Amino acid sequence: MANLNGRRKQRGSVKSCLTIGCLSVVVLVAAVGIGGYFWTKSFLTRMVKEYTEPEARSLPTVALSEEEIRSIIGKLDTFKKEVQEGQAKEPLVLTGDDINALIQYHPDWKDAAGKVHVTIKDNKLRGEVSIPLEKLSPVTKGRYLNGSGALTVNLVSGRLFVFLEELEVKGKSVPDAFMSQIRSKNMVENMNTDPKFSPIVRSLKEIKIEGDRLIVTPMEPK
């Protein structure tokens, strides 16, 4: 996999990762957001001790051939190019293994590599995460958020909505007092107002989780 590993070192453009990249790493975004919620409170130290760990969790990796991985990367890049040019006709369909291969090997998704592992089952996107938290606060230096969660994904009137329905951190379910607020928060709201991201989303007709697949449907070419 030397060639593929080499590709991960290339610098990716912002536009390249925005079409589907945000979906595969949305568990990462959600977890960091939740971490920020906990660690801005007065009981910071206690929460860090209760909900974080001193070591990263080892996440699963996909066992695919180099040819299979190149095919998955090519499928995404072709779809992305067609969407940007207004020529996309067929939906992009990704399995959990497809998304994990992109996380591991696509150069634009390198920030999520080793931090997120995705599964899609029963119309839900689930993810395991292991996130270093040293940049959040001096108290979190050397700590990791290791957890798992389930999310729902929808596209409505040109806006992307991702809601965290379930969250387990350090083997514990996050208390309902927090989850009641977390569940109502669109984890990608800021992306909907990003001038580099929003035009791409408006070029899509539908984003949904169906069974064990993520399906991204483009607008019909004009």
The rounded percent of the chain whose pLDDT value lies above 90 is 17
Whole-number pLDDT of residue 182: 66
Residue 22 and residue 116 in contact, taking contact as beta carbons nearer than 8 Å: no
Most confident of 44-48, 73-77, 149-153: 73-77
Short-list 200, 20, 199, CA closest to 109: 20
b/e for 178-207, b at 16 or more Cβ within 10 A? ebeebeeeebbeebeeeeebbebbebbeeb
d(CA 114, CA 103): 8
The answer to whether the predicted template modeling score (pTM) of the entire model surpasses 0.75 is no
Lowest mean pLDDT among 161-170, 176-185, 213-222: 176-185
How many CA atoms does the CB half-sphere of 129 hold within 13 Å? 29
d(CA 45, CA 22): 30
**pLDDT tier at 73, thresholds 50, 70, 90:** very high
**pLDDT tier at 1, thresholds 50, 70, 90:** low
Report which of residues 60 and 202 the model is more confident about.
60
Residue 210 has pLDDT above 80, yes or no: yes
| Domain limits, the chain | 2-218
Whole-number pLDDT of residue 202: 84
Residue 107 has pLDDT above 90, yes or no: no
Q: What are phi and psi of 72, to 5 degrees?
A: -65, -45
Residue-wise pLDDT for 5-60, tens only, equals: 554 444 443 333 444 444 444 444 444 444 444 444 445 677 777 778 899 989 99
Lowest mean pLDDT among 33-42, 77-86, 156-165: 33-42
Provide DSSP, 90-140.
Answer: S-EEEEHHHHHHHHHH-GGGGGGTTTEEEEEETTEEEEEEEEE-TTT-GGG
Residue 104 has pLDDT above 80, yes or no: yes
